[in-house]
Amino acid sequence: MTNRIPLNTSGTTSPAVLEQLQRRSTDPKRRVLFTGATIVTMDPDSGVLHGADLLVEGDTILAVGPGLSREGAVVVDATGTILAPGFVDTHRHAWETQLRRIMPDVDDLGAYVMSTLSGYATVYRPHDMYVGTKLAALTAIDSGITCMLDFSHNSRTAEHSDAAIQALIDTGIRGVHAAMSPHFGDWDKQWPGDLTRIMEKYFAGDDQLLTLRLAALATDEIAGPALAYGPELARTAKELGIGVSVDAVFGPSSSQAVLGWEKDGILGADLTLIHATGLTPQAWEAIGRTGTTIALAPTSDAQIGLESAIPAIDEALAVGVRPGLSIDVEVALASDMFTQMRALHAIQRMRAVNAVYGTDQQPARITTYDVLDFATLQGARTNGLDGVTGSLTPGRKADLLVIQAEDLNNMPLNDAVGTIVLGSDARNISAVLISGEARKWNGQVLDVDLPALREEVHASRAYVLNTPAA
């Protein structure tokens, strides 16, 4: 027997049916079949499927294609929708979220560092870490980001780290906790030694939503040598069996650092370099030779003006690196992946056309498919989650979006990839599944007491803003 649930232009289902969809934790073999959708698989072998079905069993995608069997499944009528992989954010400082847009016109990295990292950060309690990270993760889910790397660089005590990790757990997002100590102010000096405790306490299982990475900076210019990536931190990560994400990678000094890391043998696929603006050709050649991954932050680079202020997409592609995308800091930037895709798409195409303007040469322009690939499949690879998420491929975890294609701003559906990248936003996402669990349904993020969260966020902000910097 099957239960057929409409999820089309109205996008509504009954509470009883939603309860059926949320039974994965008690029924690991529970099946959900989405029917009649346009499916953007982001799998190079499958492409875009029209009027197709997608079958989820427990936390995993079991099959994708037309006419799948409905036996034993909760059937969701997805006619008039697009199914797509959840977006993957490769770098966000989630603890800052109660300070959203507090400095919307910041035009200098130093101004951000001094106001936020040297100022507000120093008074954060573990509770403030929890509130900011929780708000960031719930906002990510609302806008279709199913996997978020939290570059958590305000771990003043072990309790601060625990609070940030617990926030990821409580929201149900596929979270990557990238741990780093604070830049400035008093702290317990427990990092990186505390990573062993964190690993044993939160990351012991092989099949779980959370993963751990070590976070570091490229050079000692901002916060001193203890936070700069090098052989010692690389050794720590290797001993723990975790990847490394390195922030503030830009300019000549980072270029020299990259070349030094290659000589030391500590570049590679388990290392992510964030921003990568203004690097030398030699540094890019080293990145390409070693298969090192790149996390671009399109709006951060352009709006704040980091080094060259141009997202390094052409440089990455020239050496064979397809990057992931990231949000970075909500103190000045948008929270969603749609903005990152559109910004990168527009900036690169503008740059490509401008480079050959007045000549008979043809510009090398990226496509909407490219930026969606960066925001999904390549983001998963960048976060060290190859084969886990990033595409709607049988065997991968069921991290997926249901996007309304018949909403005012999307109808009529002509090109599904173009509609996701250029037409859609958070209001069009009627459902989000993470590891097969409904986290957003009927356009609402689930299991959130919004009035209570609002009270927590406002109280935390008031504390941070009204407490003198330590």
Distance CA 179, CA 187 (A): 14
Residues 411 and 349 in one domain: no
Distance CA 258, CA 246 (A): 11
Instruction: Give the pLDDT of residue 20.
Output: 63
Instruction: Give the pLDDT of residue 15.
Output: 56
Instruction: Give the pLDDT of residue 6.
Output: 47
Domain boundary among 329, 355, 382: 382
Match 């102010």 to its residue by tokens.
185
What CATH number should be reported for the domain holding residue 368? 3.20.20.140
Residues 350 and 403 in one domain: no
Residues 58 and 119 in one domain: no
Residue range of the domain that includes 414: 3-86+388-445
Residues 125 and 221 in one domain: yes
Residues 64 and 136 in one domain: no
Domain boundary among 382, 409, 436: 382
Distance CA 331, CA 337 (A): 16
Residues of the chain with pLDDT under 70: 1-26, 207
- Number of domains, the chain: 2
Q: Are 173 and 207 in contact (CB under 8 A)?
A: no
Distance CA 194, CA 179 (A): 10
Residues 126 and 56 in one domain: no
Instruction: Give the pLDDT of residue 16.
Output: 53
Position 460 in a domain:
no
Instruction: Give the pLDDT of residue 24.
Output: 57
Instruction: Give the pLDDT of residue 7.
Output: 56
Position 461 in a domain:
no
Q: Is the peptide bond before 126 cis (omega within 30 degrees of 0)?
A: no
Position 321 in a domain:
yes
pLDDT digits 0-9 by tens, 89-124: 999 999 999 999 999 999 989 999 999 999 999 999
Position 456 in a domain:
no
Position 372 in a domain:
yes
| pTM of the entire predicted model | 0.95
Which neighbouring-strand residues pair with 77? 6, 35
Residues 77 and 126 in one domain: no
Strand 429-434 with 400-404, pairing: antiparallel
Instruction: Give the pLDDT of residue 221.
Output: 86
Distance CA 136, CA 133 (A): 5
Q: Are 54 and 33 in contact (CB under 8 A)?
A: yes
CA atoms in the 13 A half-sphere facing the CB of 108: 4
Position 121 in a domain:
yes
Domain boundary among 327, 354, 382: 382
pLDDT digits 0-9 by tens, 136-181: 999 999 999 999 999 999 999 999 999 999 999 999 999 999 999 9
Position 466 in a domain:
no
Residues 327 and 345 in one domain: yes
**pLDDT cut 90: percent of the chain above it:** 91
CA atoms in the 13 A half-sphere facing the CB of 243: 25
